[in-house]
Amino acid sequence: MWNPDAGKHGSVDLSTASASSSSGVLATVRAKRLAREQERRQELAALAIQRVWRGRSSARQTRAQLLAHLQDKPIGIEDTGKVLVLLSGDGDRDGFGAIATKWATSALDKDRRPAFVAQLGDDEFAYRFALLLRRLLGFIAKQPRTVLSAQLLGKLVDLIAPPVYAGLEAERRQAFVATLGGDWVKTGVGALREFIAAGQRLPKKKHPLSTPIVSVIMAPIAIAPPAQDSPLVASLLQDLMTLPSLPFSLPLPALTTLSRSLPLFQVLLPAAAADPALLDAGGLSTELAKTHFLSNLATFGITGGMLQRQGAQGMRDWIAVVGTMFSTLGEGWGRWVATSGSEVEPMVVDDSDSDDEDENGKRVARKPVREPLPSNVAARLYSFASPAHLGTLVAAAMQGDSKTLVDFSFFVLGLLNAFRGSARWEATLDAVMEGKRGARMTKLLWREGVRGKWGSGRKDWETFSSNPNRAMLMLLSHIYCHYLLLTPDDEFFSNDTNALTLDEVLDLSTIWRDLAYWGFMEGVSSGESPSRGPGTEEVRSLFTRGVTRVAERKKFAPHNFWVMRELNSDINSFVNAVRYEEASLQGASAPRALRQRELAYIAPRLGLLNNLPMAVPFETRVDVFRQFVRADQMRTRGDNPFHSSRVQAQIRRTSVAHDGFRQLNRPGALRGMVQIQFVNEHGLPEAGIDGGGLFKEFLTCLVKEAFDVERGLWLANDENELYPNPHGYATEPHQLEWYTFWLGRQSYLDDLSSLDAELYRGLISVKNYPKPEELSLSFTVTEDDFGVARSVDLVPGGSEIPVTAENRAEYIQLMCQYKLGRQFAAQSRAFFSGLAEMIDPRWLRMFDQAELAQLLGGEHADIDLADLKRHTHFSGFAPDSSTPTAFWRVLESLSQEQRGKLVKFVTSCSRPPLLGFKYLNPEFAVRNAGSDTQRLPTASSCANLLKLPDYKDERLLREKLLQAIESGAGFDMS
């Protein structure tokens, strides 16, 4: 219907508002509200600033008026409050100082005796007076090296002198010291730091004002000895005790005052022992501050003799505090201390999040530098590891309770952690193990912290960091591993010299083995939560080292003692997991040589095999090794080895080593298929195609010729065992190539007795000699190169370092390292260069020396005919043929030497296969070679096949078989 008034009204939009328009309105409202809130905050801030400015201005004006007033009148003790106001802020320093000097003068009579003693009984006056002294010290500390500060410091010494307050009740003295405030020491130390720095430029290196400021700093402690919870304690620990070379920077009177007043064993160490957080806060939060703290502590406690005068509680507090402090020091701290004072570059700290730019503009980590320490600081730090100091603590620990023994264990572990990488590491263990006292300590650690307190399950490792006995176990492990390092077998197996019985050694080794095993299988702690969770990488490495050193001894453990029982239940799963881990590593996009520690993280079972192989049955390790070799052959040769590329080599039987070296000494030559053709002494090629047997024969001949001592590469000891020739001729580049061609394995410390029996006996004498200084030895070794004697330093400057009781263990280790390592270094590098070309060294680390020899050379055992018979296959003989039966009767009549020749004739190796003939591949086989009984038996060693004519007569079979195996001929036999 038409509406005549429709044009008089606006149109009405009945559609709903859009979401975008409503959100925009809300955003606008919110922004306006925030703007208004910001404006209100700005207004309030401006009012606060104005209020503070007006207050400060008013206070400044008041102080200026007060200063003008006091300058025109005499000042007495009754003006204490006014002077207090004057010194409560900034202003005319000279004017304020003059008023303060006048006030201090009025507080003392003409003989500099206090004139205010009677008024100290008034609590209000005593409070104002203490506040004024506090302000006076702060005034001095702002500019300590001015004449005005020196004058005021002299007055302050008299005003704060402890005898002045001796007549007050104990409660009043404590209230007075509390008013002085917890910052009293910190403020005074700031001034003392200035005086010490200024004193370095003086002829005597000591500032005269250090004496009065020390008296002022220590006065509150003498007035009212602080309790452990006093604010003064933290400042004494964190500010005063961290001053660099504090005792060496003070004049003798100041040092005397400090030594007499410092409540080191009465208050400071007990407080720090009860609250270790004090040792990692404030001025003690940096490594450098902790280092100076320890140096000062050693000066007062060890050099100054304070520790010797303490009782059992003082010893316990010292052990707890020093142990805690050492445990917090960074990696390489001991090497830093050792290099301080010498002409070396500043040490770089490894842990840093800072960065820098390299030459390409990329961000790279920038490591902070440790500047060298003063020589006197380093010397004091060394005293913590001195035999005398450690002997005192060992005696205290053995006489104390179980908690003392635990704290002592942490103390030594902290010391070892700090001095890791320096000679003091060994010296620390030597001091703890010294003589009969060390044997008693070893027994005590075994009884109290180890025996019956550790299980064999996974839980012991998972909760290792929270186990209360962990420190004692770790200390015992360090001690006994060090003992094993330098102890010959005759001493180890003697009850008179070994602190533990052999049964106890096996029990301890079982704990090591179980914890190390679970450490590899379950992983290690990151170290972020040291009080809970599993052990760390360092702990696992320690236990692994212990197992290895015991296992390397002359065998005394039962068969398969080291094997973990958990593996026997599911060995196939373990092997499959190992194969998977190895395949994963080989399939990495960028394979690289992995350290044993890295391997343990990436592939735990491979890590176990490389670090703790004895925990896995030998047969299992052999199986794993063979699977690794087969997989490697598949990668390098392909699926069909007979169609892969082959390396051809013609080898003259008269020059096997020379021809083999010349033709096969190139990268990768021995990793592929090698086909050997022998040339006889007449220059004619021998018959036969190499299917593997000729190559095995080549290797056998090569070993004989290349290891001939006449070549000059090897020397023989009294037992006709070979070792690399250390003379210069053998280290020339063209000779080192021979070592590269051969595969080698590094010698062990146990080999020293066979390498040089005379030197071995001499080192044992040095080890047991009461006073090695009388032997006039130094850290050198004499070498003889073709009649020319030369002296070699075992360490830089070794000719100037005498062998003493403290460093003889280091001398013995260095001598052994030189004889077994350094003098063969070039040859060893060449050995392992060749080894790495042939086979992954990780695979060989699965075996010890004896096992490796067994792996490479076969079983050192007689030929087991029963085993051979079970795994021999006959073909081509009639069911009723008597030849197989006659063959076995003939073998039974042969000697072991003849049986070995038969096995060599068929397989090219005289020893039985490792783990028996079951593992010979291809299987040992005997095939009918026809009815011509005039022919000799022949063999295809590449197929482990004996071709035996069908002899009907047992006597003839024996005759022909012996003729064949004794001839030593090759394929020409056929």
Residue range 282-317, pLDDT digits in tens: 899 999 999 999 999 999 999 988 998 888 899 999
How many domains does the structure of the chain reveal?
A: 5
Q: Is residue 242 part of a domain?
A: no
CB under 8 Å to 38, separation ≥6 — which residues?
none
At residue 669, the pLDDT reads: 58
Mean pLDDT of 201-213: 87
**CB of 852 closer than 8 Å to CB of 745:** yes
Boundary-marking domain end, from 515, 539, 562: 562
Domain shared by 591 and 654, yes or no:
no
791 phi and psi angles, rounded to 5 deg: -100, 135
Q: Above 90 in pLDDT, residue 425? A: no
Mean pLDDT of 652-677: 71
Domain shared by 437 and 422, yes or no:
no
Residue range 84-96, pLDDT digits in tens: 666 666 666 777 7
Q: Above 90 in pLDDT, residue 240? A: yes
Q: Is residue 141 part of a domain?
A: no
Domain shared by 414 and 311, yes or no:
yes
**CB of 120 closer than 8 Å to CB of 168:** yes
CA dist., res. 159 & res. 33, Å (int) = 60
**CB of 925 closer than 8 Å to CB of 946:** yes
Q: Count, in order, helices (H) and strands (E) of the chain.
A: 42, 14
- The pLDDT mean for the chain works out to 79
Mean pLDDT of 9-28: 63
> Quick one: DSSP state of residue 108?
B
Q: Is residue 848 part of a domain?
A: no
**CB of 534 closer than 8 Å to CB of 461:** yes
Mean pLDDT of 740-749: 40
Q: What tokens appear for 165 in the block?
A: 């307050």
Boundary-marking domain end, from 637, 658, 686: 637
Q: What is the band of 50 on the pLDDT scale with cuts at 50, 70, 90?
A: confident
The catalytic residues are: 942
Domain shared by 379 and 325, yes or no:
yes
User: Of 459-468, 523-532, 577-586, where does the model show the most confidence?
Assistant: 459-468
User: Exposed, middle or buried: residue 119 (CB in 10 Å: 0-12, 13-18, 19+)?
Assistant: middle
Mean pLDDT of 786-813: 82
At residue 346, the pLDDT reads: 43
Q: Above 70 in pLDDT, residue 549? A: yes
Mean pLDDT of 921-942: 86
Q: What tokens appear for 2 in the block?
A: 């038409």
Q: What is the band of 235 on the pLDDT scale with cuts at 50, 70, 90?
A: very high
Q: Which residue has the higher pLDDT, 724 or 747?
A: 724
At residue 69, the pLDDT reads: 63
CA dist., res. 221 & res. 185, Å (int) = 10
DSSP 154-197: HHHHHHT-GGGGTTS-HHHHHHHHHHH-THHHHHHHHHHHHHHH
3-state secondary structure of 254: helix
At residue 189, the pLDDT reads: 92
Domain shared by 329 and 409, yes or no:
yes
Question: What is the percent of the chain where pLDDT is above 70?
Answer: 78
Domain shared by 656 and 702, yes or no:
yes
Residue range 251-261, pLDDT digits in tens: 999 999 999 99
Q: Is residue 271 part of a domain?
A: no
Q: Is residue 22 part of a domain?
A: no
Of 160-169, 218-227, 348-357, 601-610, least confident by mean pLDDT is 348-357
Q: Above 90 in pLDDT, residue 526? A: no
Which amino acid, one-letter code, is at 111? D
- Residues 644-653: b if buried by 16+ CB within 10 A, e if exposed: eeebebebee
At residue 242, the pLDDT reads: 93
Q: Which residue has the higher pLDDT, 237 or 711?
A: 237
Q: What tokens appear for 38 in the block?
A: 């910001």
At residue 360, the pLDDT reads: 46
Q: Above 70 in pLDDT, residue 647? A: yes
Strands, DSSP E only, in 293-403?
347-348, 355-357, 363-365, 369-370
Domain shared by 420 and 495, yes or no:
no
Q: Is residue 4 part of a domain?
A: no
**CB of 179 closer than 8 Å to CB of 130:** yes
Domain shared by 445 and 522, yes or no:
yes
User: Exposed, middle or buried: residue 122 (CB in 10 Å: 0-12, 13-18, 19+)?
Assistant: exposed
Q: Above 70 in pLDDT, residue 817? A: yes
Domain shared by 543 and 587, yes or no:
no
Short-list 141, 177, 137, CA closest to 157 = 137
Q: Which residue has the higher pLDDT, 745 or 836?
A: 836
Q: Above 60 in pLDDT, residue 730? A: no
Q: Is residue 135 part of a domain?
A: no
3-state secondary structure of 761: helix
- Would you state the torsion angle of the CA atoms of residues 843, 849, 853, 855, taken in this order, to the nearest 10 degrees? -30
At residue 130, the pLDDT reads: 86
Q: Is residue 719 part of a domain?
A: no
DSSP 278-289: GGGSGGGSSHHH
At residue 373, the pLDDT reads: 86
CA dist., res. 719 & res. 746, Å (int) = 19
CA 413, chain centre distance (Å): 12
Boundary-marking domain end, from 426, 443, 460: 426
Q: Above 70 in pLDDT, residue 733? A: no
Domain residue limits at 686:
645-706
At residue 344, the pLDDT reads: 40
User: Exposed, middle or buried: residue 667 (CB in 10 Å: 0-12, 13-18, 19+)?
Assistant: exposed
CATH number at 965 reads 3.30.2410.10
Domain shared by 555 and 442, yes or no:
yes
At residue 345, the pLDDT reads: 40
Residue range 96-155, pLDDT digits in tens: 777 777 777 777 776 667 777 778 888 888 888 888 888 888 888 888 988 988 988 988
At residue 116, the pLDDT reads: 78
Domain shared by 298 and 421, yes or no:
yes
Domain shared by 580 and 558, yes or no:
no
Residue range 604-646, pLDDT digits in tens: 788 888 888 888 888 888 888 888 888 877 776 665 555 456 6
